[in-house]
Structure 1
Amino acid sequence: MLKNLLNKFPDAVFHKGDCSNPELYIWFQDDDGTSLGIPKTDLTQEEIKLLQVLFSGEAPNERNTAFSNKQWSDYLYQDHMELPLTSWDQVRFTQFTISGGGFPHEEFEEAFLSFVPEDTLLIWNNDFTGVLIEGNTHDNPGLHEFIPVISTLQGDFYVKMNIFSGNFHAVNNQLHYHFTMESDCFAKSRLHLPDLKVSTLPEVFPFLFLTGQSTGDKEWYAEQLLGETLEDQELIQTVKIYVEHNSNASSASKALYIHRNSLQYRIDKFTEKTGLDIRSFRHALTAYLIILLHK
């Protein structure tokens, strides 16, 4: 019976391996054990409720046995679940995929968690994808620290890994939306930058820009990439002019009628507040595109 739904939902898939981002689908099972994933954007709330009456939801991943892991797994990967109770004020999602042969999951999980703060959770979505959830502490690994971690895990377990390191987000009713948006970013990263072991929003954003974004999504990207600098129009204009002058400080400072030292101060301020080093091509491109998109 599930197969008949393909007539109404042609973008539905039968296996998670058939889509780049299974978290963006709602999965159903019939009595024969057949699964079908339908893109969330293709379903109305009424259709979701009806299908949930007719079919069971996909069984949650059995690897998330601890109570807190099960709660977070339900919240992130199942629909209409409540935000878990937690002492964390802010969390960061580091999503990962693993490819290669079989590997001992328990040993892998133990090894991965040894590189991050002690209270970090590892939540499996399936046998080859999952997410680290970290509270915001002084011990969180920086982006550059993840690269040797991935290299070590790949060497020890004979697998290939890709991760997407998100931003820290307040634990509130917007948290699931942040997770969904970053899941989409990770999918684009794997599609366009498959050889990049560790990706973040600044690297992926130019590819997201090409596909067009809704107004709400534009605001999310602007907030994540530019943060509080959105309120400083002088700083935003400085960055825009600097990039338009091919990152040439002399040319940009003349166009802005300011001293080169003042320009350098503004650039350093922007980098400190956003993490975007606009002296590099990728970050300069991302900064310029999001400024244009937000105008």
Structure 2
Amino acid sequence: MRSAESIQQQLQQIMGTPFGIVSLADSLEPALSDFFKKDKSDSGSFPTSFIFDELVYFPHYIGLEDAIAFTVNEHQITLRERHLIEALLAGLQTRPLQSHKSRLSEEERMRQFGQWLQQQNIEESGLPPADLNLSDDLVNRMVPLLLQGDGLQVSYSQLNKLLDSYLGGDVLLVPLEQREWLMLASESLVLGGEDERDKDLSEPVEEVLTAFALGLYELIASEWGGVFHISISRPFLPTEGLPGILSLLRETLHLGELFHVSEHIHLPWELRLERLLYSIPDEQRQGFIQQDGINSGLFGDAETLSTLDTFFQLDCNVSETAKRLYVHRNTLIYRLDKIKQETGLDVRTFNDAVLVRLILLLYKVTKSK
């Protein structure tokens, strides 16, 4: 989004004459404010330019909240040049000019969007109410992220400002429940344009999304700290199922916090097994983990749980797991042998590793009930 100052400089370079910037808010000089409101076209929109007190005013919005006008002495430009400036500014205009009082603030607009979104069924699709002026924002593919965290003490304006400075625009920040925000970033912003993606087809989309979510997490954590979690999903078209995407992100956060308590970035494509096991009825889960030879109090030990979680996360690699846990390789082998003695299952073999992995996940979800 172009700033008012950069547009002002461009106008001055093109026309070779000084331009000013004034506010067109209600707090403006009453005479000019009244003139501006009365001088509307028949459609109810404000004019593309008007003259007041020997100055030509070119109304313009920078985003949704800043109603401004570029000004120039009426004797410094010709009528043809005036029309040229109107055309130039029309190409930069991001929103139709409306009554200042009738416009919602950006935060209120996004809050109403969030309220509408949470009232929809997950099967529904389509655009939000027209008065929110979101039709242009939701026509292209976007990457959805969900941020949750009671320990994250940050306001909407603070978070929105951080996202704007870090990502450079093209992001919608939608407040949902308390300390819960949905972020919709343009696909090109996250994955790059088509030309950039064509240059490197070897990097899977999931890896790019994971790195993007991790970078955003580290940015927010470094700015405010606190405990919070982020989930992200693949690019999608908002008009084809935004409520369903929100449901998926919320489910992903819930499963991630349940099964992987030490992690803060949760990805739906890495939680397929967890999602399947969570859908199994409680009685069947309890029956499975209580079978002879499987039930063991060993899974209630924090050290064992941490060892197994890390071991499976690193594809059962003993050396890498020892490094991650900051223990000697022999110490890790001793722990794995202890698990084998207690359960009769050796997680260094494929079949036993799969079984222990299932038991561990079932233990976590059963314990949470």
Same fold, TM-score > 0.5, yes or no:
no
Relative to the length of structure 1, the TM-score reads 0.45
